[in-house]
Amino acid sequence: MKTGILALQGSFQEHLESLKLIERDFILIRTVDDLEEVGSIILPGGESTSMIKIQENNDLFNHLKIKILTGIPTLGTCAGLILLAKNSILGKSTLNILDCDIERNGYGRQNQSFEGKVQFNNFNDNYCFIRAPKITSVGSGVKVIAKMEDEIVGVQSNNIVGLTFHPELNNEQNYLNWLDNFVMKGLNVGAL
């Protein structure tokens, strides 16, 4: 099975490069039919409002939600986390499957983007926060898996991981090892 990367808008190309580095087959998800071959999913950063508007007429998110709820490994970074969370965006529903609240642009606008030291999955590295959302609360079944000082910047609930930062921009070996275990082997699903 392939890893599907939501490719409506945003940093899907960078995630594609990460998957190439771990020699993982992938497919770009633009239509419902693209979900047939998918055994794991990546929802990239970008503009969450645009992604919701782009897919509105083809019902892609309803099918995407069904696929994720089957238990396949799913990673959402930045805007991808926003799409997974239980918030609404401009009155439109997100996928609403990750029990956490998100503040869009929680660290500021584009010109306030930064790199921060993150502890993620037992390793530390600097990661990019680009118009990053802020996780303001998590539900009882959600584990904190990444922190930047006292800030929660990564969460997991069963097969779903949401990160406020962009590990695909670094592609350092610790992240690639984690990604390989998560999407390719499913070893980290529910185990962090």
pLDDT digits (tens, 9 = 90+) for 26-41: 999 999 999 998 999 9
Domains of the chain: 2-185 (3.40.50.880)
**Residue 191 binned pLDDT confidence (cut-offs 50, 70, 90):** very low
- Determine whether 166 is an active site residue: yes
3-state secondary structure of 64: helix
Is 78 among the catalytic positions? Answer: yes
Contact (Cβ atoms closer than 8 angstroms) between residue 45 and residue 166? yes
Render pLDDT for 104-159 as a digit per residue (tens, 0 to 9): 776 766 666 778 899 998 889 999 888 889 999 999 999 999 999 999 999 999 99
Percentage of the chain lying above the pLDDT 90 cut:
58
pTM of the model: 0.90
Asked whether residue 192 carries a pLDDT value surpassing 60, the answer given is: no
Question: Terminus-to-terminus CA distance in the chain, angstroms?
Answer: 23
Tell me if residue 168 is catalytic. Answer: yes
The token pair at 53 is 């508007």
**Residue 173 belongs to what H/E stretch?**
helix 173-179
- Among the listed residues 14, 15, 100, 168, the single catalytic one is 168
Tell me which of 69-73, 81-85, 128-132, 156-160 is least confident: 128-132
Contact criterion met (CB below 8 Å) for 35 and 28: no
Catalytic residue among 14, 15, 78, 100: 78
- Amino acid making up residue 173: Q
At 89 the pLDDT is: 67
At 104, list the tokens: 């869009």
Assign 174 to helix, strand or coil: helix
